[in-house]
Amino acid sequence: MTDNRSPLHEIQDKRGASWLEEDGGWYWVNNFGDPEGEFKAIREGASLWDVFALQKWDVTGPDAARAAQRMFANNLATLQVGQVRYGALVNNDGLMIDDGTIYKRGDDHWWVFTNSPEFDQALAEVAGDLNYSIVNKTHQMPVLSVQGPKSREILQSLTDYDMSSLRYFRFEPEPVTIAGIPANLLRTGFSGELGFELIPAREDAERLWQILVDNGVVPVGLDAVDIARAEAGLIIMETDYFAGKTSPFDVSLDKMVALDDELEFIGKDALRKVAANPPNRFKTLRIDGDVAPEAGAPVLSNGEEVGTVTSPVESPQFGVIALAVIRTDLAGDGQKLDVALAEGTASATVDVLSIHDPQKKKPRG
């Protein structure tokens, strides 16, 4: 069996990491013993998250662009080299099978980052007529995600590269030297904060990780990241949406479904039928009290089920909140609803999706 542990597994283990092992032997750190301190680092300082298990695909060839677009509902045609785009990967019925980011390295060279390690098989089923090659580079591409308001400042102290020159959702196609170590530099993240992601060679990952820690970047795990991403309205596969069951419109990815463009992607006709009148909206619920509902708990209006809680968290700033799929006519900001608890219900108020920073000024800053 393939060893799917990160090249940072051992050094994080020595620091006291507790681990979540997913199917297939992919590992994520839950925390390093201080989830509250780790969350504080994301929001107030600089944090370091190992995103090794994210699946990284190298797509090349004469039809690489068409292949990358074939299942991707957002528009890749307008991308420049060094630009990134996020969106839903869909099936013929317009239902999400994944979500991911796509990076243009050249007209015939793209990176596609997904959740599923079977993406290549799904793509082959719908793009078998195209001339492209796809290779899983996950084991050769460790991702060190440096997020937080001090991330740029700390990284700038370790490089001659002008960190302020890299715009949001852009990346450097050629390696940048960080603390003497070459790494691809990405202006992306999963925190709702200013942040960058570094992709060094596998053999350099542990050394770069240690240098970052020595310079004040705090290692964090899923416990802290989950609160931050829920506050920012960011989704997780098989939590906020389910493969083959959820429309991009159910999780309010409307702006990332390019129906007006002359693009060749599957599921477009099905998505067009839903776009005019989406049945559901994806919103934040502010929940009264100090008891969080379970994921999957019903959202109620006068006792009628009108939605589903997907990601409940206890936020240090906002109290108990949850991301939720809610019926459109009851999803307006300020709408009063209830959520089911293990015992009884709790009152809830609908709020904007990214409750932490609705205009996303921080990651763009």
Candidates 227, 172, 212; CA nearest to 42 is 227
pLDDT, tens only, 298-347: 999 999 999 999 999 999 999 999 999 999 999 999 999 999 999 999 99
R_g over Cα of the chain:
20
Q: What angle do CA 61, 263, 276 make, to 5 degrees?
A: 150
Question: Mean pLDDT over residues 28-37, rounded?
Answer: 98
pLDDT, tens only, 231-251: 999 999 999 999 999 999 999
Q: Give yes or no for residue 44 having a pLDDT over 90.
A: yes
Q: What is the pLDDT of residue 126?
A: 97
Which DSSP symbol is given to 192?
Answer: S
Place of tokens 């796809």: 134
Question: Mean pLDDT over residues 49-57, rounded?
Answer: 98
Q: Are 195 and 363 in contact (CB under 8 A)?
A: yes
Residue 127 zone, left/alpha/beta (φ > 0; ψ -120 to 50; rest): alpha
Question: Mean pLDDT over residues 80-92, rounded?
Answer: 98
Per the prediction, the chain carries an average pLDDT of 97
User: Residue 316 forms beta bridges with which residues?
Assistant: none
Question: Mean pLDDT over residues 174-186, rounded?
Answer: 98
Q: Please report which confidence band the pLDDT of residue 261 belongs to, taking 50, 70 and 90 as the band edges.
A: confident
Question: Mean pLDDT over residues 205-229, rounded?
Answer: 98
Domain architecture of the chain: domains with CATH: 9-52+142-230 (3.30.1360.120), 279-365 (2.40.30.110)
> In this structure, what is the dihedral angle of CA atoms 7, 10, 16, 18, given to the nearest 10 degrees?
60
Compute the distance between CA of residue 361 and CA of residue 112 in angstroms, rounded to an integer.
Answer: 26
Q: Please report which confidence band the pLDDT of residue 260 belongs to, taking 50, 70 and 90 as the band edges.
A: confident
Q: Give yes or no for residue 66 having a pLDDT over 80.
A: yes
pLDDT, tens only, 275-305: 999 999 999 999 999 999 999 999 999 999 9
Q: Give yes or no for residue 2 having a pLDDT over 80.
A: no
Percent of the chain with pLDDT over 70: 99
Q: What is the pLDDT of residue 339?
A: 98
Q: What is the pLDDT of residue 1?
A: 47
Q: Give yes or no for residue 23 having a pLDDT over 90.
A: no
Neighbours of 64 (CB within 10 A): 24
Q: What is the pLDDT of residue 151?
A: 98
Question: Mean pLDDT over residues 262-268, rounded?
Answer: 95
0.95 surpassed by pTM: yes
